[in-house]
Amino acid sequence: KNTRYLEWTFRNGKHTYKWDKTLGKVKVSWDDITVNLMLKAPRNSHVFQRKVIVRNDKRRNDAIEKAIKLFNNDSFWLVAPFKVFDEGVTRSLVKLDDGTNRLLVTYTSGGTTPGDSYLWKLRPDGFPESFKMWVQIIPIGGLEASWDDWLIVNSGAFLPKSHLIGPMKITMGNVRGFNSY
C-alpha cells in the first residue's frame, strides 16, 4: 500500500512493466508493442507499435487484451502476498497430514483465470516461503514455487527477485518499488 510505483521485468526481460498504483495505470511492453494500460478503464488505454500509435480497432483491442493478461499473470509473481485480501478471494487454513498448517487461497472472481488456488507455506513469522499451485494455465496441479528470494525496495516493501519451480528459475528482473520519481 505504501508503494506508489513498481517496475520489473518478466520472462528474462521479454515483458517490462512500469506501474503507477495510485493512478491505476501501467506501461506494459513486449516485442515492439507498448500499451499504456488504464486498469480501471482499459478502453481508454493507448497502444503503440514501434512508438507509433495503433489506431486499427482490432489490433488495438487485441493488444489491450494481451496487456491485461500479461499484467495479471506477471504482476501476480511480484505481489501475490498482497492480493490475499482482495475482493473475490477466499482464504482457509488447511491442516496437512504431518500436522502443519497451510493457507489455502482461491481467487473466485476477477483476474484472467478465476478459480485458481494456491496453498501457501508460511514461515513462523508469517512471511511467505512457497506455494503450491492449482491453476488453469499449468496442466500439472500442485507444482511448488518458492517465495524466498526477497528484496527490500526503496519504499520499504518486500518484493521477490526470483522464484524456483523445480529446476526452473523465474526472474523478476530489476525490481524497483518507490514513491516518487
Residue 138 pLDDT > 90, yes or no? no
pLDDT at 110: 83
The pTM is what? 0.93
141/53: higher pLDDT: 53
* 8 phi and psi angles, rounded to 5 deg: -165, 170
Locate cell 510505483: which residue?
5
pLDDT (average), residues 18-40: 98
Structure-block grid coordinates of residue 8: 520489473
pLDDT score of 1 more than 80: no
* Of the candidates 117, 69, 66, 123, the residue with the CA atom closest to the CA atom of residue 92: 117
Predicted local distance difference test score (pLDDT) of residue 137: 85
Looking at residue 35, what is its pLDDT? 99
Give the residue ranges of DSSP H helices in 26-110.
57-79
Supply 10's cell numbers: 518478466
pLDDT in tens, 141-168: 899 999 989 999 999 999 999 999 999 9
pLDDT at 61: 98
State the Cα–Cα distance between residues 131 and 128, nearest whole angstrom.
8
Task: Give the SS3 label for residue 112.
Answer: coil
Segments in the chain forming alpha helices (H): 57-79
- For 72-122, the pLDDT digits (tens) are 999 999 999 999 999 999 999 999 999 999 999 999 988 888 899 999 999
What is the structure's pLDDT at 112? 84
Distance between CA atoms of 128 and 120, rounded to whole angstroms?
A: 7
DSSP, collapsed to helix, strand or coil, labels residue 10 as strand
Name the amino acid, one letter, at 102.
R
Q: What is the DSSP letter of 93?
A: E
